[in-house]
Amino acid sequence: MGPDRIKTDTLISSSHQYGYGKVQDMLGIIGGTSLLYAKLPELEKTVVHTPFGNSEILLGDCALLLRHQGNRPPHRINFRSHLAALAIVGVTRVVTIGSAGSLRREIPPGSLVIPDDYVSTSTIPSIHEHRIRHVSPGYTPSLRHLLESLIPEARPGGIYVQTMGPRIETVAEVRALARSADIVGMTIASEATLAIELGMEVAALCTIDNYANGLSEEALTYDHLLASAAAHHERTERVVRAIIRGIE
């Protein structure tokens, strides 16, 4: 039995260990900076042990996972542990919410975008380390369309490009990325790919916090992203409630 098979079997047995092996159609929500100032649903904090590490989940009728656990920057996030933890507790559908920068002047800061595809300039993690397994990555059309109906103010469609982080992109990189994408972030492509590998449906919602480097004269800092998250916290709370009500 190869290491990948052992890890897969461990995920299955762990779901029964935590008592969630028979849960069907549980919703999982992944969030980051955009959720920092939002009042989140009252859920029970649970640490889930996975073959890739331990991840903390807020658990109830749905599962909520904050990706920057331990204040980890994007390039240090344990994506495999996070997505495996969601699989263990019975999540079958994932909505990942992430901050992004706009590569288009027609997508201003403050917008919401539900992308329909993604590209990555950085390495995407995989649960398969010792055998060849190909998946067809991308967002799940049915879940994406449902998300569009639940959040009608969001812009439907667009290409999300993932960079490694934690630094922002150079002006030259932004010009190059804008040839094939509309918004840029550092996390969602990894989460979406792992969700597909683990047999989950996945869709994404991006909060546009700034224009990408060079598209405006404003200096881009982490404090700017925090200020944007704080300014839109009520909208974020409303959106999370709508997702939970509409997809559970």
Per-residue pLDDT of 141-166, as tens digits, reads: 999 999 999 999 999 999 999 999 89
End-to-end CA distance of the chain: 36
The pLDDT value recorded for residue 122 is 86
Residues of the chain with pLDDT under 50: 1, 5-6, 8, 12-13, 15-23
Specify the DSSP element, H or E, that contains 194: helix 188-197
DSSP string, 83-109: HHHHHHTTEEEEEEEEEEEESSTTS-T
For each of the domains in the chain, give its residue range(s) and CATH number, in order of start: 3-247 (3.40.50.1580)
Helix and strand counts by DSSP (H, E) for the chain: 7, 11
The pLDDT value recorded for residue 71 is 87
The pLDDT value recorded for residue 146 is 97
The count of other CB atoms within 10 Å of the CB of residue 119 is: 12
The pLDDT value recorded for residue 13 is 46
- What CA–CA distance (Å, rounded) separates 143 from 184? 21
The pLDDT value recorded for residue 16 is 41
The pair of three-digit structure tokens given for residue 208, joined into one six-digit string: 């546009």
* Cβ partners under 8 Å of residue 23, min gap 6: 89, 90
- What CA–CA distance (Å, rounded) separates 228 from 248? 28
